[in-house]
Structure formats: structure tokens, C-alpha cells
Amino acid sequence: MTQTDRRVLISAPGKVILFGEHAVVHKKLAVAASLGLRTYLHLEENETGQCRLHLPDVDIDLTWPLSELSLNVDRKALDTDHPDNIPEEIKQQFESWMGVTTKENQRRAVLSFLYLFFVLKTDKPASFGFTISTRSTLPVGAGLGSSASFASCISTALLVLFNHIPIGFTQSEKKESYLDTINRFAYKAEQVIHGNPSGLDNSVCVFGGALSFRRGERFVPLEGFQSLQLLLTNTKVPRSTNALVAGVGAKKEKYPNVINPILDSIDNISLRCCEAFKSGSKEDLAQELEDLVDMNHCLLHALGVSHSSLEKVRVITEEFGVKTKLTGAGGGGCALSVIRDDVNVETTNLVAKKLAEEGYDCYRTLLGGTGVNAVVLGDDSLDQTWLLNADRETLESHAI
């Protein structure tokens, strides 16, 4: 296979925030872990002279001749602290490539791609072309980090495509430094998608595992982490991470003496979680996590980011003695329930059944899986049609 028809499968996990969402935006500690559910990206280099961006999860299929994807101004102008601050002229050019794309979720996905494309692009022959197709087994916009997982895949694809990092980065002795590079650009894409991200989600999706994170500092792998049985419930109530994060910020501005102590309490919940894992006693850990889950949810409720659907999940699970909190931005989206080892399978099934009767989707998935990964595909193997049609188990078996 030549360099020009190289095909690569990239994947990155979603994440679940155990403790500290929202507070982490304001420099409080958060604890999160990667999920078994992932986003997959198929990258094909070809000689069509065109760039195709195929994002079926958000109903996008755009193709541009690469000769037309060129900026009128020096691309150094893209080098700002936040992508929102790029010159108006570039924003207008991005708009002109957007076609009929009008929905906010679609626009942000395409804009994050265009932004990274221009930041990372290097000179290539006129015939150079490529197709990017993505498919996620994560629910999109539900609090499980689909945007960071997507951002990590796009960042990796463009870094590999333009030869900033080698395809075998996961086997390289410079792996850590390559992952840092992927993470830096994934964060930029996250900024395009949801405004003021803390950087927690992209760190989990890129590095995988379980970690604690404070904005502006390097994440710390969670000492003594043991995978937990979690039940994730997607209420399917749509919400905007942007708006919810901005709402908490506005409350903090207006009622600093009320909100700051809440954020400090959440910080202490995350600290306590780290200590509980470190101490290693499984019995105590289960009890503490349940308490912390309950308290963290109530504090998030006070910040105004719960929703009646999430409260309903709490009521249903509580009937079985199972503790639940919202996870991610809240306002709908997903809840996480801690399933203690002494809760039997029949009970868990019954809880899941009751939740399904309300129209919610339940996921049982492992925590702490591998971070972003890329493999070169052979001539005979999987193409993008396969990617778009494969079932979840088949996809997961190729994630490595």
C-alpha cells in the first residue's frame, strides 16, 4: 500500500465524570474515567484532490475541492487563545464552506474540523485528497463526552494526515509527548464545540484510564482505582453543554457567597473520592462512593443543572437502594448509578427495566479503557462502509 491510499482506523473512548462536573470549569478538582463506548474515525488518503467530511451521527456529508479550501489571510491569525477570537474574515470564509449546514450541533462539528484543518495543514501535491468518516457508539450530546471523543479522533486524524505525529504513536517511546500534542489540539476543537471546556473530557478521552484533574494543571492517574459497576441512564432529554456551563458561571457571578461554598464542597467530594480509592478497602469504598454520589448530585441540583428526568431516575433507582447522580453537563442527558457488588444481577436488571419503561436507555459498560488509538488498515480489510454499518460489539473488538 502506498502512502497515497493509506487507510487508518482511529478511535477514542467517551468518559464518565464520577465527581466534579461544572466545578471543574472553576478550577475545582474532578474525577473521571474513560468508557468502553467509543468514537471511531476512518481516514482514507486518496488522489481525488478533494476533502470529504462524512459525519453521519450529526447528518453531515460535505465535500470540498482541496484547492478551494484556502484562506485569504495568513493562517497565523488562527493562533489565538480561543478559536472564537479568530478574525471575522476567516469566520466568514468558514461560513462559506458550511453549505446548507444550519443546525448548531452540525455547525460546531464542521467548524471544529475546519479550524484544526487550517491550523495543522502542510503542503501536499495537487492530487492529494482524503475522506474522514466517523461513527460513535456514544450517545451524542448526553454527557458521556461524545464531543471530546470526536475532538480527540479529529485531532489525531489531522496530526497523522499532515505528518506531525507518526501513525504508530502508541508504540513509540515518545508516546506521552505525542498524546500531549493530540490533547492540545483536541482541546482546541472542544473550545469550538462547547465554548469554555475545562479540559477534563479531552484529557480522559486521549489518555484513557481513570484520573483526577484540576484545570490548568496536569491530570493525575487515580491511585488505587478499581473498576466499578456502573449503570448509565440516558434520559434522552436534549441539552446544551454551552448553555449549562454559562448558566453556572452567571450564578457564580450573581451569588458568589452562595455558589463558591458549593463549588468548594464539590472540590472536597472529589478529594475524598481520591482518598477512598487510595485507601483500598472495597467495603468502605462502596459506602463512601454512594454517599459522595448522593451529595454531589444535590449540590449540582443547587447549581441549577439537574432536570426532572434526572430526578426521576434518582427516585426509581433509590427504590432499590441504588444511588444516582447526573454526569456531565446535566440538564437532561445521562445519570450514573453505582451498583454495589452485593446488588444481585436480578435487581440490576429490574432497575434497568423500570428505567427503560420510562423511555430511557441504559448502558452497562466498563470504566478505565484505553485512550486514543490508531491502526493502519490492510488492503483487504474494513472500509468506511463497514465502519458505518458494523454493530457495536464488532466495532469494540477493533478498538484495541
Ligand X SMILES: C[C@@](O)(CCOP(=O)(O)O)CC(=O)O
Tell which positions 326-365 bind ligand ADP, by CB under 6 A.
328
End-to-end CA distance of the chain: 22
Burial class (CB in 10 A: 0-12, 13-18, 19+), 21: buried
Residue 143 interacts with ligand ADP (CB under 6 A): yes or no: yes
> Of all residues in this chain, which one has the CB nearest to ligand X in the complex?
328
* 247 contacts: CB under 8 Å, gap ≥ 6: 304, 305
Residue 145 interacts with ligand X (CB under 6 A): yes or no: yes
Q: Which of 136, 152, 183, 202 binds ligand ADP (CB under 6 A)?
A: 136
| Catalytic, out of 147, 198, 212, 309 | 147
Q: How far apart are CA 358 and CA 310, in angstroms?
A: 12
Q: Work out the angle at residue 392's Cα, subtended by the Cα atoms of residues 389 and 397, and round it to the nearest 5 degrees.
A: 105
Neighbours of 130 (CB within 10 A): 21
Of the candidates 328, 329, 349, the one whose C-alpha atom is nearest the C-alpha of residue 339 is: 349
Q: How far apart are CA 396 and CA 36, in angstroms?
A: 8
Q: Please, what is the minimum distance in Å from the beta carbon of residue 194 to ligand ADP? A: 5
Residue 198 interacts with ligand X (CB under 6 A): yes or no: yes
| Side-by-side strand order, sheet with 334-338 | 323-327, 334-338, 230-234, 361-363
Burial class (CB in 10 A: 0-12, 13-18, 19+), 56: middle
* One character per residue 158-197, x = contact with ligand X (rule: CB under 6 A): ---------------------------------------x
* Residue 150 interaction partner, one of ligand X, ligand ADP, none, beta carbon < 5-8 Å per kind: ligand ADP
Judge whether 147 counts as a catalytic residue.
yes
Q: Which of 105, 196, 229, 265 binds ligand ADP (CB under 6 A)?
A: 105
Q: Which of 201, 208, 368, 384 binds ligand X (CB under 6 A)?
A: 201
Neighbours of 257 (CB within 10 A): 6
Residue 373 interacts with ligand X (CB under 6 A): yes or no: no
Q: With respect to ligand X, which residue has the nearer C-beta, 328 or 368?
A: 328
Residue 55 interacts with ligand ADP (CB under 6 A): yes or no: yes
| Catalytic, out of 155, 201, 212, 267 | 201
* One character per residue 14-53, x = contact with ligand ADP (rule: CB under 6 A): -------------------------x--------------
Q: Which of 18, 78, 245, 374 binds ligand X (CB under 6 A)?
A: 245
Q: How far apart are CA 23 and CA 212, in angstroms?
A: 13
Residue 331 interacts with ligand X (CB under 6 A): yes or no: no
Sequence letter at residue 309:
S
Sequence letter at residue 342:
D
- Would you tell me which residues interact with ligand ADP (CB under 6 A)? 39, 55, 57-58, 105, 108-109, 134, 136, 140-147, 150, 193-194, 241, 328
Which residues have a catalytic role annotated? Answer: 147, 201
